[in-house]
Structure 1
C-alpha cells in the first residue's frame, strides 16, 4: 500500500497552526509584561501559521484515511517540525542566537526533558520564558493527542496517532471514541495545571512563576524561571510540597485520575502499577532521607535561602522532592544530589532508568514495564522446574498476551542498547565517562539533570554543537518510546505492500 503523503503533509500543516497559535499567545504575554520582544515572537508565530496554512491548502484534497505507517511518520516528523519552528522565538529574539542551541532547547522542551543551555535564565524576556514553559506543556500530554481532539472536524480518525505517541506498552482508552479520550485527558491535564497555579500563587509565588512552574510540573518537564530552579524557594517549604504533590500526580497514569474523579477509587487502589509506583517512592525516599540525615548536607547546593523546620524535615523534603523529580523525570532540583555521598550519586543515576507510570507525562522505561519484566523473570524459575506448565504473566489479575511480554523485553533491550550507544557517541565528543553515561541516561530518559559537568546545578551549555544534535535525537526517541522513531530506519517500513 502506497503512503498517503497528502494526509501526512496536511496533518503537519495542522500541527504548525497549533504551534504558531501558542507562539502568538506567548507574544501576548510578552506584550503584557512589556519585555521588548513582542514583535519578534509575533513574527515567529505568524511565519509558522502561514507555513501551516499553505501546507493545509495544498493538501486539502486528500484521502481521509490514515494507516499505521502514516501514523508513525506524522508523529515522528510532527515532533521534528514542531521543534524546528519552535526554535524561531529563541532565534528571532536572540535569546539563543545559535540555531543548534535553539533547536536543542526546543526539543528539550517538547520532549519534557528540561535540559537547558541557558546560563542566565532570569535575564531571558518573560515572553520567551513563557514560550519555553509552553513547549513543555504542549509536549507533556502530547502534541498529537492535542490535535486528535479536533480531528473529527477534518474527518480523520486518530487511533493510529494515539497508539504511536501514547506512553507505555498499551494505550488506555477512557471512551470508545479516541477523540473523546483525548478531550478527557486534556481536561484533567488543564485542571491540574490550573489548580497548581492557584496553590503556588497563594503559597507565595508570583503569578508568572506559578503558571510557568505548573506547566513544567504537570508535563514533568523541569524548566524553571529561576537559575536555582525550585531551590530558589528553599525558604518556603510549602511551595516545594505543592510541587511534590503535582509531580506525583503527573507521574501516575492520567486514566487513574479520571477514575478517581468518577468515584472509582477502588480501580486506582487495586492497580498494580500504581501500587508499585507508590511503593518505589516511599522506599527510595526513606533510603535517601536517612542517608541525607546522617551522612550528607542537604543544603549542599546552590541554595539561596536557609533551611527551615529542622534537619529531619529538611532531609525528608529534599529526599522526597529529588526522588520524585528523578522518577517522574521532571528534573526540578532543590539541592545538588551529586554532593550527597557517592552512594546517592549512583542511587539517583539508577532512578533515571525507572520512569513514571504508563499513561503519564513522564519519560523513562515506565514502572509497568519493570513490573512485567520482574514478574516474567520470576516465572522463568517456575518454567525451569515445570517446563510443560503454562504459566502466563498476570497484570491486574488478567493474563497478559505473550506478545506484550515480548514487546516489553524488546523495548528494554533496545533501551539499554540506545543508552550504551548514546554514551559511546558522547564520549567521542571528548566528554569524560561520568558525563557521557549521565548525559545518555538523562536525555534518553527525558530526565534533565545528568552527572559530572552536566549535573543538577549545571546546564548543557558546554555541550559541543554536534553533541547537542545527538542529545536532541536521544530525547526524541526516548519521548516517543523508541519503536515509533527507530522503525523509520528499517528498510521494510518504506516498502509499498
Structure 2
C-alpha cells in the first residue's frame, strides 16, 4: 500500500480545516471572547499535523488504490472528530471527552444530534459559529470524498448510473481534484442560494447564514433552529426548497450547468423517483393526519410534507411536534430515514438509486421465475446496469441492515427500549438524529459514555459506507500477519 498518498491527502484536509479554524478565532477576538484559548490549540494542531503529513507525502505517487482510499476515508473522519472536540474542551463546554467527541463527530458527519441540553443555543457566539462550520465542512468533505475517493474504493455503488455514465472517475489524483472542485463549487453555490432564501423569508442575516450552513449539509435535527418556533409558511418554504436542492445529485447539477440545460435534471430516473417518493409519502402522511384530526385543514399538508422532506433529506428539521403524531406517521418518517436522498448528495441513508436497483432486480427475478429461459437486462435510464454494480449494491444493503440490527442490540444494553435503540442506530448510520426523538430520546447526554463512543463509531461507519472500514480491517490484519 502506498502510504505517502494517504499522508498527502490527509495533510491537505488538515491544513484546510486548520485554516477554517481561523475564522471563528478571528470572530471570537472581534466579539471579545477567548478566541485564542478556544481555537488556538486546535488550529495549531491541525496546521502542524497537516504540515507533517504533507512532508511525509511529498513523494507520493499520483495514483490512489482501494486500500489507500479506505485508509484515507476512515482516518479523515476520526481526525475531524478529534479536531472538532478541542475547542469544546478548551472552553469547558463538556467535562467528559466522550461528550465532546460525540458532539464533534455528530457535527462533522451531519447527524445533527447533540449532547447539549439546549442543542448549543447557549454556546458562546464563536463556538456556535464553529459548530455550524463543522456541519457545513462535514457535508463538503463528504461530497468531495464521494466524487473522488469513494469510486476507487467501492466501485461507485451505482454512482455512475445517476449521471448517465457521463462522469469519468479516475484513480489519478489530479483528475480526482478536478471532480472535487466541480462538486465543491456547486455545494458553495447552493449554500449561498439557501442563505439568500432564508434571508428573503425574514430571518436576520446572521441567522440565515447559520441556517444555510446547516441546511446545505443536511445536519438539522437539533435545537439550534426550530421552524415551529417561527410558525412561518414562507420560512418553511425556504427550508423545504433548500432541503430539496441539498438532496439532489451534485454531479447532475454540474452537468446541467455545463450544458445550460435545466430540463436534463428531470430526465434523471433517480431524481424523478425521489420526487415521486416525496409526493406519495407526503400525501399519505397528510391524509392520515387529517383523518385523525391532528391539524386543521391545509395545515395537515403543510406539516406532513415538510416532515417527509425533512426525514427523506436526512436533515431532521422540525416544523411540528412529530413525536406526538400517530404511530403510523412516525413509522413512515422512520422508514424514510433508511432511504435518504440521491446518490451524489450530502444526505445519509442507503440512497434512492440503490433502492431502485434492488426493486428492479426483485421484479426481474419474479419474471425469471415465471419464464426461466428469458434473458433479462436490468436498465436504469435505458442504461444496462453491470452485474458487478448490482452485486455491490446487494452486498452493501446486507452489510447496512446487518450493522443496523447488531447496533440495535448493542445500544439496547445501555438501558433504552428496543424502539429507542432502533431510532438511535438508524439515526447514527443514516446521519439523521431526529429518529431518536421519534421514540422519546430528547437528551443524548444521559446515555452512558461507552454508548456515545459506539454511536460516534456508527456515525463514522455510515459516512465511510462500511466497505471502507472492512478494507481497513483486512489490510491491517494482513500487515500484522506479515509482521508476526
Is 1:463 paired with 2:447? yes
Q: Measure how far apart 1:258 and its partner are.
A: 2.4
For 1:96-135, what aligned pairs fall within 5 Å after superposition? Answer: 96-120=94-118, 121-135=120-134
For each residue in 1:312-361, what CA deviation from the matched residue of structure 2 results, as whole angstroms up to 9, or x when unmatched?
33222211111111111111112221211111122211111111110111
Which stretch shows the higher mean deviation, 161-170 or 96-105? 161-170
Alpha-carbon spacing, 1:209–1:390, altered in 2? closer, same or farther (3 Å): same
Contact 1:109 1:135 in 2 (8 A): yes
Contact 1:12 1:74 in 2 (8 A): yes
The 1-side partners of 2:38 and 2:440 are apart by 33
What's 1:204 paired with? 202
Q: Measure how far apart 1:26 and its partner are.
A: 1.7
Which stretch shows the higher mean deviation, 174-183 or 458-467? 174-183
What's 1:11 paired with? 9
Alpha-carbon spacing, 1:143–1:417, altered in 2? closer, same or farther (3 Å): closer
For each residue in 1:252-300, what CA deviation from the matched residue of structure 2 results, as whole angstroms up to 9, or x when unmatched?
11122224333323432221111110000001111111222331535xx
What's 1:151 paired with? none
Contact 1:145 1:162 in 2 (8 A): no
Q: Measure how far apart 1:484 and its partner are.
A: 1.5
Q: Measure how far apart 1:175 and its partner are.
A: 6.6
The 2-side partners of 1:141 and 1:126 are apart by 23
What's 1:439 paired with? 424
Q: Measure how far apart 1:166 and its partner are.
A: 9.9
The structure with the greater share of residues assigned to helix is: 2
1:316 to 287, 296, 301: 301
What's 2:141 paired with? 142
What's 2:172 paired with? none
For each residue in 1:379-414, what CA deviation from the matched residue of structure 2 results, as whole angstroms up to 9, or x when unmatched?
111111222222011111111111111111111111
Is 1:488 paired with 2:472? yes
The 1-side partners of 2:325 and 2:59 are apart by 60
The 1-side partners of 2:224 and 2:129 are apart by 15
Contact 1:144 1:165 in 2 (8 A): no
The 1-side partners of 2:229 and 2:325 are apart by 19
Helix, strand or coil for the counterpart of 2:127? helix
The 1-side partners of 2:227 and 2:42 are apart by 30
Which stretch shows the higher mean deviation, 385-394 or 7-16? 7-16
What's 1:429 paired with? 414
Contact 2:143 2:345 in 1 (8 A): no
Q: Measure how far apart 1:451 and its partner are.
A: 3.8
Contact 2:217 2:346 in 1 (8 A): yes
1:285 to 279, 282, 287: 282
What's 2:52 paired with? 54
1:272 to 269, 273, 278: 269
Contact 2:322 2:438 in 1 (8 A): no
Alpha-carbon spacing, 1:409–1:65, altered in 2? closer, same or farther (3 Å): closer
Alpha-carbon spacing, 1:8–1:182, altered in 2? closer, same or farther (3 Å): closer
The 1-side partners of 2:394 and 2:244 are apart by 27
1:472 to 431, 456, 459: 456
Contact 2:67 2:153 in 1 (8 A): no
The 1-side partners of 2:92 and 2:333 are apart by 35
The 2-side partners of 1:167 and 1:344 are apart by 33
Q: Measure how far apart 1:174 and its partner are.
A: 4.5
2:233 to 237, 248, 263: 237
2:292 to 292, 295, 310: 295
The 2-side partners of 1:273 and 1:59 are apart by 39
For 1:344-363, what aligned pairs fall within 5 Å after superposition? Answer: 344-363=329-348
Alpha-carbon spacing, 1:181–1:51, altered in 2? closer, same or farther (3 Å): closer
Contact 1:37 1:125 in 2 (8 A): no
CA RMSD of the aligned region, Å?
2.5
Number of equivalenced pairs: 470
Contact 2:211 2:225 in 1 (8 A): no
Contact 1:220 1:330 in 2 (8 A): yes
Alpha-carbon spacing, 1:449–1:11, altered in 2? closer, same or farther (3 Å): same
Q: TM-score, normalised by structure 1?
A: 0.88
Q: Structure 1: 5+ residue runs without aligned partners?
A: 149-157, 299-310
